[in-house]
Structure 1
Amino acid sequence: MSTTKIVIVGSGFAGSVVAEQLARAGHQILVLDQRPHIAGNAYDECDAQGVLIHRYGPHIFHTNAQRVVDYLSRFTDWLPYEHRVLASVEGQLLPIPINQDTINRLYGLNLDEVGIQAYFERVREPRDPIKTSEDVVLNTVGRDLYEKFFRGYTRKQWGLDPSQLNAAVTARIPVRTNRDDRYFNDEFQIMPKDGYTALFQRMLDHPNIHLELNTDFFAIRQQIKAKTIIYTGPIDAYFNYCYGRLPYRSLRFEHEHLPGISRYQPAAVVNYPNDHAYTRITEFKYLTGQQHSHTAIVREYPQAEGDPYYPVPRPENEALYQQYKALAAVERNVFFVGRLAQYRYYNMDQVIAAALKTAERILGSA
């Protein structure tokens, strides 16, 4: 391999954004991906009947970062989309994040905003300091809502009790006293008009970018003589697990095509915190805006084994990551970026921002 090339391991958002930025600056880029397609976990495709699905579970774009939106807008037009989620609790489908309607319908009440705030104050169990995900929820909404909406879901998702997880996990989910039933509060809530894969195809469509799919970086690592490597895979794998394996949570997806049904459920996502082995069902047509006489859904089954999706946020895991981060800091001409390489529970916009920053660092030192 030529020593003039920059090699990027992974064609998800982290790798593709860096590839595009460096290629536009005149560098020759080789992008490797072990999967048979680009776009990483954001990959979408039409199923056999033509319904656009997200192969690796729902990817919903939301951000407050104007810079990220401006950057992606070079590769896609947008559809407005406000994400809504319902939770199946005691025979009802109730809004999550918890809001005024959730409380009133669950308990047969008729409280306004002031009444809801007073209700939370009455039932909350103050926690100081707040260290765990359990602390966050009990401190905000109390024991009963914790048990009904959070504890079972978290146990399925992470294989751990909320009391064993960092506060950041449940702190991601707001609690509202009004009737706002949107899942996110961000200024920009939009979806790529032609889907994510089309966005990535445009991003990587540059004469300076060469793609090699179905290629395992570790199988050809000794042959690579690049002057710079951008690595987006699991950081512990890069260093051959020398300090032990970092825990990641995986998922199994059960896709189902439903012919002759235009709508399967009343919202894009329905959570099942207390029933079934799966955590949620997503119906893709809500996300994509696609008009089709059929519909398609996916059930998500969290598991310990399989492709790594989520770094497990616990203090001991962070301490282990810091050991690998110290190795990465002295690795010459190798940049680690993305959810797996930085062992962070990033949203898509955070990955893109980190990738843009990484590209700036590389170009600044070139």
Structure 2
Amino acid sequence: MNILVVGAGFAGSICARELVEAGHKALVVDRRDHIAGNAYDVKDEHGILIHQYGPHIFHTNSERIFNYLSKYTEWHYYEHRVRGVVNGKQYPFPINRDTLNQLYDLDLTEEQAAEFFEKVREPKEKVQTSEDVVLNSVGRDLYEKFFLNYTKKQWGLDPSQLKAGVAARIPTRTNSDDRYFTDTYQAMPLHGYTAMFENLLNHPNIQIKTSTEFKDVLTTENQFDHIVYTGPIDAFYDYKFGHLPYRSLRFEREHLKNVEQYQSVGTINYPNDFDFTRITEFKHLTGQKHSSTSIVREYPTAVGDPYYPIPRDENEKLFKQYQALANVEENVTFVGRLAEYRYYNMDQVVGAALNAVDKILGK
């Protein structure tokens, strides 16, 4: 088969590689001038490896997915840590026993920390919104200190207006584990994500065209047996039912000369101060040694490239209209965060892409 793959991020690149491994040919197009999608990383003018579209930290519990990517990269083992700033002080986040002890000047054991959460939580019979999730778990004070304003900045909505799944991603711990993720496999591609994608797409039967709109290659001369589409599903159908809402980000990058380390951990959240949500220092993530450092501040915005599908019932309803059209497509496969309007982690996109290929080959 001659296959057109729209998008050179995780979903598109993995589908392309697996389909050519099965004997087909693939043309991969991307409207941006580079491969690797939002995971694209590049050395800035000071020689620091930065993530162009905000921090991407790989973690998974799936041995299959970790082993799959290991064919295309070596790894730098890295466990991400985050601090949340409340009243000018930094605390471990997600909230754990140390957060409670430092914030309230206590000396709780694990058992006492569990009792503390039980005492302050506001039990909800029906947990439907993000606000419900957090109040049900840690109560009002911690909700207001760490979650409420961060969520408002991140999504432009009150937590009571967002589905439960958004907050459910963040655990609460009674121990002192201050890692952001507890997955079995936590690592960064040793030479960066872009290098990993170059390896993924390095095959004689894969042709790549960047700075290319996919509709521009759908000409009478170019005949494709199948399309793998990883872009926004509403764009594919020319916004027939209206635009699906997304949250975007604006990045403010800064290089700090002769500053070896700017902050103590990879990311620091600012739930209650400033217009940005967080600052990430890339050298923590990559393990790069350098006498200076580069950081990025993230400003959530309603305009710009689509990053995060906004999890609300009315948006899900609109997506379902597009999905109904997608379901009857014979020769188009929709896969990925934008095409499926799903808040996927990177490993989940890898899994979705591998499953999509199985279905295409099964046909």
User: What is the TM-score with the length of structure 2 in the denominator?
Assistant: 0.98
Match of 2:167 among 162, 165, 170: 170
Partner-residue secondary structure (3-state), 1:343 = coil
Match of 1:142 among 139, 142, 147: 139
Aligned residue number for residue 233 of structure 2: 235
- Aligned-partner Cα distance in 2 for 1:44–1:248: 23
Higher mean alpha-carbon deviation, 278-287 vs 315-324, is at: 315-324
Partner-residue secondary structure (3-state), 1:175 = coil
Match of 2:189 among 189, 192, 196: 192
Partner-residue secondary structure (3-state), 1:292 = coil
Aligned residue number for residue 253 of structure 1: 251
Aligned residue number for residue 200 of structure 2: 203
Aligned residue number for residue 309 of structure 1: 307
Aligned residue number for residue 346 of structure 2: 348
Aligned residue number for residue 32 of structure 2: 35
Aligned residue number for residue 269 of structure 2: 271
Structure 2: 5+ residue stretches without partners = none
- Aligned-partner Cα distance in 2 for 1:175–1:315: 26
Higher mean alpha-carbon deviation, 145-154 vs 114-123, is at: 114-123
Q: Deviation per CA, 1:199-241: give whole Å up to 9, x if none.
A: 0000000000000000011344455521100000000110111
Aligned Cα root-mean-square deviation (Å): 0.9
Partner-residue secondary structure (3-state), 1:189 = strand
Task: Report how far residue 359 of structure 1 moved.
Answer: 0.9
Partner-residue secondary structure (3-state), 2:126 = coil
- Aligned-partner Cα distance in 2 for 1:181–1:208: 45
Q: Deviation per CA, 1:162-210: give whole Å up to 9, x if none.
A: 0000000000000000000000111111111111000000000000000
Aligned residue number for residue 113 of structure 2: 116
- Aligned-partner Cα distance in 2 for 1:108–1:312: 37
Task: Report how far residue 332 of structure 1 moved.
Answer: 2.0
Partner-residue secondary structure (3-state), 1:206 = coil
Task: Report how far residue 43 of structure 1 moved.
Answer: 0.2
The reply to whether residue 323 of structure 1 matches residue 298 of structure 2 is no
Partner-residue secondary structure (3-state), 1:104 = helix
Partner-residue secondary structure (3-state), 2:305 = coil
Partner-residue secondary structure (3-state), 1:31 = strand
Displaced runs of 4 or more, over 4 A: none
Aligned residue number for residue 93 of structure 1: 90
Match of 1:107 among 104, 109, 118: 104
Aligned residue number for residue 6 of structure 2: 9
- Aligned-partner Cα distance in 1 for 2:302–2:216: 25
Q: Deviation per CA, 1:29-73: give whole Å up to 9, x if none.
A: 000000000000000000111100000000000000111011100
Higher mean alpha-carbon deviation, 216-225 vs 321-330, is at: 216-225
Partner-residue secondary structure (3-state), 1:352 = helix
The share of aligned pairs that are identical, in percent, is 61
User: What is the TM-score with the length of structure 1 in the denominator?
Assistant: 0.98
Q: Deviation per CA, 1:301-320: give whole Å up to 9, x if none.
A: 00000000000001111111
- Aligned-partner Cα distance in 2 for 1:306–1:80: 33
- Aligned-partner Cα distance in 1 for 2:336–2:99: 35
- Aligned-partner Cα distance in 1 for 2:29–2:254: 31
Partner-residue secondary structure (3-state), 1:121 = helix
Q: Deviation per CA, 1:243-262: give whole Å up to 9, x if none.
A: 11111000001111111010
Aligned residue number for residue 72 of structure 1: 69
Match of 2:148 among 134, 151, 165: 151
Task: Report how far residue 298 of structure 1 moved.
Answer: 0.4
- Aligned-partner Cα distance in 1 for 2:204–2:216: 26
Partner AA of 2:139 in structure 1: G
Aligned residue number for residue 358 of structure 2: 360
Partner AA of 2:200 in structure 1: M
Partner AA of 1:290 in structure 2: Q
Partner AA of 2:63 in structure 1: Q
Task: Report how far residue 23 of structure 1 moved.
Answer: 1.0
Partner-residue secondary structure (3-state), 1:359 = helix
Q: Deviation per CA, 1:3-32: give whole Å up to 9, x if none.
A: x52000000000000000011111110000
- Aligned-partner Cα distance in 2 for 1:176–1:160: 26
Higher mean alpha-carbon deviation, 107-116 vs 203-212, is at: 107-116
Partner AA of 1:327 in structure 2: L
Aligned residue number for residue 56 of structure 1: 53
Partner-residue secondary structure (3-state), 1:308 = coil
- Aligned-partner Cα distance in 2 for 1:221–1:319: 30
